[in-house]
Each structure stands twice: as C-alpha cells, then as structure tokens.
Structure 1
Amino acid sequence: MSQEKELPPTAQHLRQLARKGRFPTAPEFRTGVQFVTALLAVAVLAPPAIHKMAAVSQHLIDRASDREPLLFDHGFFAPLSAAAVFFLTLGMIAACILVLTAVMETGVFGFFAENVRLDFQRINPVSGLKNIFGLPALKRIVFNIAEAVLISFATAYVLLSNLRSLLDAPSCGISCVGGLAVYLLGMLLALVAVIYLVFGALDLKISRVVFRHENKMSHSDVKRERKDTDGSPEIKAAMADARYELMSSAPMRRERVQEQRQEQQDASIVLLSDKEAVALRYQTGGDSAPVLIWRGPPSRVASLLATAPTTKVARNPEVVDHLASTPIGSEIPPALYPAVSRAMEEAGLTL
C-alpha cells in the first residue's frame, strides 16, 4: 500500500531532482528580467555608441565631399572601437544576466551531465499532452492574457495622457515629433517593464510552490533517504574515525575517573550552597593549604559521601561562591583561609 506523500521535499531530494534536470521554471520571470536588463543596457550604453557611429559616418561623408582619399586614421578607428566596445559590453552583460536569471529561477548553480543525456520520456506523447493541459501551461495562458490586457491599458494610458501633445506635434516640426516619440516610447517601455517584473516575481513564487507540491515525499521516502545518507562511504568513514577516537581515549578517561574517585575519598569537608557544593582536602598538621578536589551540584553530595563516609559537611554559601573561579586541584586562595578555618572548626576539624 502506497503511502500518501504529505511531507515537503528535503534539500537532498531537491538536489537529486536538479541533477536529473528537474527544477522549478518561471519563464515569465526570465522574460521580465531579460527585458528590463536589455532596456537598461540600451538606455545607458546606446547613446554614446550611436554618437560614435554617427561620428564615423560623418568622417566618411567629409572625406567623400572633399574628394580626399579615404584614410583609416584615428578619426575612423576611434569611434568604431567605441562602438565595438559597446556591443562587447552588451554581450557580456547579457551573458551574466542569463546565468544569474537561471540561478534565481531554478535555485541551482552548476552543470549536470545527466541533463543532456537522451531521455525518451521527454518525447513521450503522453508527457507532451500532460504538459499542454497541465498546470504550467494553464498558468502561462493566464499570465499571457493578463499581460496583454495590462499592456493594452498601459498603451491607452500613455496615448490618452499625451493626447494634446500628439495633436500639436504636426505643427511643431520634425524635431518636436521625434522628441515626443522618444518620450512616449520610453514611458510605454517603462510601464511594460514594471508589468513584466510584477508577473515575473509572481511566476517565480508560484513555480517554486507548485514544484515543491508536485515533489512531496512520503514518510518511507524520508526514511529511505536518511538510510542512504547514513550509509554513504563518507559518513561511514567519519563515524569510524569518531569510534576510533572514542575507543583510544576510553582508557585515559577510565584512569582519570579512578583518580577522581580516589581524591574524593580523601575529602576532608564538603561546603554547600543552594546551587553548588565543593569538597576540600586537608591533612591535619601539614604545611600545605586546603586543596579544592571536587565541585558539583548539591544533589551529588550523597554519592560523594557514600565513598567517603568520614567527610564532614558544612553549609557556607559565601566560601562556595568565592571558590567558583578556583580550578580543581588548586589550593584555596590565602584570602579564604579565615573563612575556611571557621567552617572546618564548626564541623569539628582543625586547620
């Protein structure tokens, strides 16, 4: 019995789909970004290039009118090179925008060889019918109709808002007509660019939601993927290294634990506070100061006293707080000698 696919696709599953050439596509987003980019590139780079090309043409006309031999001098090559730089720059910008748009559209950066392999499923007539009558095709039809309607409204708005200027243009002269045409065309292209960007962003969002919905996973798929991941050679090798380090350090840890237990058995007194407890070791009549040998929560004092039944217990929150920064195995600071001495005397010990 097949399980219902109700879980969202994992990141690993999405990467596997991308290797097979399956990822969300948003043609409206691609068209909008490319249209706006081309419009901006032409608006910024075209005027100087046109000026340079006009200079080349003027140079040729001047040479021809003066009946001088055509010389390919600086006056010819400088404008021509500027025009070549314009087209080269435009091509590089277009290539970068194509790559960036593809990455933003699909969410995948890279090239997979599986994407160019022969796949007969892609030329299957049944798959073709599904693509024609599927949700992506319906989405494109709706978007195209909406874009056509909005562009028509934008065109009507531009013309009607400048109707007086259009009626007065014939009497103004050719220069006035040219300037008005450029203004109206620029205004219309700007509105079209906004329409394309809005529909492109909407298409990108819808495409990703639909793609994730169409590639949902069942609980069995997630378990199988996790099993495959845990069983990969890289993860197995990492787990083996971790086990080796754990086994190699186990004897050292056991030896350290035994030493700590032996030290705890030698504890002379345990001082308590509400949050912490410390154990001190002191040899009566010795020259050294008391040594801090244990620190832990008050709940573990009972287990410590089980291994050292002769250890005294006293409550002294002030000393415990002052010993919070003292390392284990270090002598207590000289400033705490009086307080520790009083605590030990109250517990029946002599410092």
Structure 2
Amino acid sequence: MNFPNKKGSIINGFSINIQLFADPDKTEKATPRKRQKAREEGQVPISREFTSGLSFLAISFVFLLLGKGLLSSILNGTHEVFEIGERDLGAFEDFWIYLSQSFRDTFIYMSFIIFGAALFALIVGLIQTRFLFTLKPLKLDLSRLNPITGLKRMFSLRSLFELAKAIFKLVIVGVVGYSVVRGRFNDVLLTVNSNLIDGTLILWDVFSELIIKCAIALLVISVADYYYSRYEYEKNIMMTKHEVKEEFKEIEGNPEVKRRQRQIMMQYAMHRMMQEVPKASVVITNPTHFACALRYDPERDFAPILVAKGVDRVAQRIIEVAREYEIPIVRNPKLAREIYYSTELGEPIPERLYKAVAEVLAYVYSLRETRERL
C-alpha cells in the first residue's frame, strides 16, 4: 500500500510520518476542501497490492491465451539454434543474427505480454487515483536523508505491518502452490516417459493452473488491502475540531468580521433610507412602533412608493426626520402595519391598499391647501 505523507511523498510503499494509529484528537471527517488540498499535494488512497494483484491476474489470462504459442516458439527457436552448422557461421556476429531470427516469434509474444501488463497496471493505478497527474511527490525532501528518521521508519509499526503482510502472502502462495502440485503430481511424473513436446505441454498445464489459482488468491488479498488502504487514508486525513473551525473561517470568513460588515451595510442602508424620507409625501405611523414613508408624484408614479420603513428606534428616527423637513405624519396603526409587512423598499404599495392610502393622501392634500389659504 502507498501512504503519502503530509507533503505527498511516497517512499517504498509507505510514508515517513504516518503512524499505524490515527491521532486521537482527529475526530472529524475530512471536509471537501481538505480532500481537495490533499489531492493537490498528491495524497490519494492507492494500493500497490491491488494494482499488482489485478495485473498478475491479467497476465495469467494472457498466458492462457498466448502461452502455447509462446511455448511453441521457444521450442522451435531452440530447435533451429541447435541445427545451426559451422558452415552457417562466418563470424561470431552471425550467431546473434541466427539467434534473433530463431526466437523472433518468442520476442513478439513476450513484447505483447510485457506491454499488456504495463498498460493494465497503469490503467488500474490511474483509476485508483482518479487520473491524478502531479509531480509534487517527486519534490526533493531532505528529511528522507535523515538516518534517524530512516531507522525509526525501519522499526516502526508500519514496517512490521508490511512485513507481516508479505509473510502472509508468501504463506498463501505456498499453500496454493503446494495444493496444485500435490493434486497434479501424477501428471508431472508422466513427463519422465514422455517426449519433449508432450512433457512440456503437461508441465504447461500444471503451470497454468498454478498461476491462475495463485493470481486469484493474491487478488483476494489485494482487494482486502485496497479497502484497508482507503480506510486508513480516511483515518489519516481526519481533522480536529479546531482545524474544521479554522477552515470554516477561511471559507466563510471570520464571524466577527462578517458581523462588522453587516453592521456597516445596515448603517449604509439606513443612511440611504433616511435620505429618502424628505422626498416622502406622508409618513404613516403606529404611532411609535411602526413608521412607513410614502412618496407619490402623479407625474411619475402610478401608485404610492414606499421609500422608508422601520420599527421602534428606526421608526422614531423616520418620524424625527419627517418633522425636521415638515413631512405630514398621519397616525393609522392598521395601515402602517399592512404597508410594513406587505411592501418592500422602493416598491409600490399593493393594489388592495390603494383606497386606504388614497384617503390618507387626500387628507394630507386638504391640510396642505388649508394651510396655503391661511
């Protein structure tokens, strides 16, 4: 298995700093941002055992498909080599020419097998990492050259775990191999009285059964290792509550700063709203808890527009500004509440309030005309 360290470096299948047991303070699951940062650093859950197990199984099937052809090419090439006479070799270089020609088919078969195994291993690795391409794990890390760190790593619990896993794999392969050879032992004895080709085919059948069963056994181990590697990766990237809190502050911003920003925005909005009060035609009040300032200009407004509203202290401030600029103030508790809850700033009043507001405006205009006559 590969366990990337905090810098994303992977060394000999295990990392430098990761311990077998997770930090007890890390009780929170990794956040999406933490996972993304870990991925950018090259930290991804990947199991070499899973890659090698699938690759070995794939190679085994390729051997089953191409094995007899490969075996036949080896036998034919060997036969051709032994038939080379002295008269065919003018110089030592000629021997290599005959050798390459005799085993040409063998080289082709081996090339297919090697290239297919490498390609399959690459695809499996890319699927595990979700096609991650990064050079950060290759950066020079001087801590790798520290002999003390190397000794700690050599005798760490992780090294013991890897050693135990290797021994377990060896035992499993040994048991599977022994069972296959024991079951086919009589077939192997037949090769003593068989010719070269027949004996080779018998051994090939035994070898094919051996590698297939070993590949299946290793695949089972590799699947378990794959899920364990993902489990341990999740443990290693877990976060403390403090880290989660700090990350939330980075993403959402410091709560105190955001609260201050909201206060400034509210103050700015309040200032702008108070600037609109002198333009109002009337202020309708509760009389103290609610205040709504309406503007109505017949030439540009098809209905009265709400330019300011507020409750309690804000309402008192609207009333003060209205008195300062001699804006008519009308007490109508029910209408004030209706306007406050049904209308947003800068919007016209609802149609159902036209009549009530029209009566208020008519009253205001009549007072204004009376005042002008006096």
TM-score bracket relative to the smaller structure: 0.5 to 0.7
Q: CA shift at 1:21, angstroms?
A: 4.2
With structure 2 as the length reference, what TM-score do the two structures score? 0.50
Distance (Å, rounded) in 1 between the aligned partners of 2:131 and 2:250: 23
Which residue identity lines up with residue 212 of structure 1 in the other structure?
E
Alpha-carbon distance change, 172 to 45 in structure 1, aligned in 2, over 3 angstroms: closer
Give percent identity, aligned residues only.
Answer: 17
Distance (Å, rounded) in 2 between the aligned partners of 1:173 and 1:56: 17
> Is 1:143 aligned with 2:165?
yes
Distance (Å, rounded) in 2 between the aligned partners of 1:5 and 1:159: 50
Question: 2:244 aligns to what?
Answer: 222
Q: CA shift at 1:206, angstroms?
A: 0.6
Which residue identity lines up with residue 122 of structure 2 in the other structure?
V
Distance (Å, rounded) in 2 between the aligned partners of 1:211 and 1:130: 21
Q: CA shift at 1:183, angstroms?
A: 1.7
Task: Say which of 155, 174, 179 aligns to 1:157.
Answer: 179
Asked whether the 8 Å contact 2:78–2:102 carries over to 1, the reply is: no
Q: CA shift at 1:100, angstroms?
A: 2.1
Question: 1:10 aligns to what?
Answer: 31
Q: CA shift at 1:207, angstroms?
A: 1.1
What are the within-5 Å matches in structure 2 for residues 4-43 of structure 1?
Answer: 4-43=25-64
Task: Say which of 285, 307, 310 aligns to 2:353.
Answer: 307
Question: 1:274 aligns to what?
Answer: none
Asked whether the 8 Å contact 2:80–2:102 carries over to 1, the reply is: no
Question: 1:273 aligns to what?
Answer: none
Distance (Å, rounded) in 2 between the aligned partners of 1:88 and 1:164: 34
In structure 1, the gaps of 5 or more residues are 232-260, 264-299, 311-351
Distance (Å, rounded) in 2 between the aligned partners of 1:4 and 1:180: 60
Which residue identity lines up with residue 26 of structure 1 in the other structure?
S
Which residue identity lines up with residue 60 of structure 2 in the other structure?
L
Structure 1 window deviating more from structure 2 (48-57 vs 171-180): it is 48-57
With structure 1 as the length reference, what TM-score do the two structures score? 0.53
Distance (Å, rounded) in 2 between the aligned partners of 1:160 and 1:103: 39
Alpha-carbon distance change, 159 to 81 in structure 1, aligned in 2, over 3 angstroms: closer
Which residue identity lines up with residue 97 of structure 1 in the other structure?
F
Distance (Å, rounded) in 1 between the aligned partners of 2:52 and 2:24: 39
RMSD: 4.4
What are the within-5 Å matches in structure 2 for residues 124-139 of structure 1?
Answer: 124-139=146-161
Structure 1 window deviating more from structure 2 (83-92 vs 49-58): it is 49-58
What are the within-5 Å matches in structure 2 for residues 78-157 of structure 1?
Answer: 85-107=108-130, 109-112=132-135, 114-157=136-179
Question: 1:280 aligns to what?
Answer: none
Structure 1 window deviating more from structure 2 (8-17 vs 80-89): it is 80-89
In structure 2, the gaps of 5 or more residues are 1-22, 254-300, 304-341, 343-348, 357-374
Structure 1 window deviating more from structure 2 (93-102 vs 200-209): it is 93-102
Q: CA shift at 1:115, angstroms?
A: 1.9
Question: 2:229 aligns to what?
Answer: 207
Alpha-carbon distance change, 117 to 137 in structure 1, aligned in 2, over 3 angstroms: same
Aligned residues: 241
Distance (Å, rounded) in 2 between the aligned partners of 1:230 and 1:159: 65
Q: CA shift at 1:128, angstroms?
A: 2.9
Asked whether the 8 Å contact 1:29–1:203 carries over to 2, the reply is: yes
Q: CA shift at 1:36, angstroms?
A: 2.1
Task: Say which of 174, 197, 220 aligns to 1:198.
Answer: 220
Asked whether the 8 Å contact 1:7–1:216 carries over to 2, the reply is: yes
Which residue identity lines up with residue 218 of structure 2 in the other structure?
Y
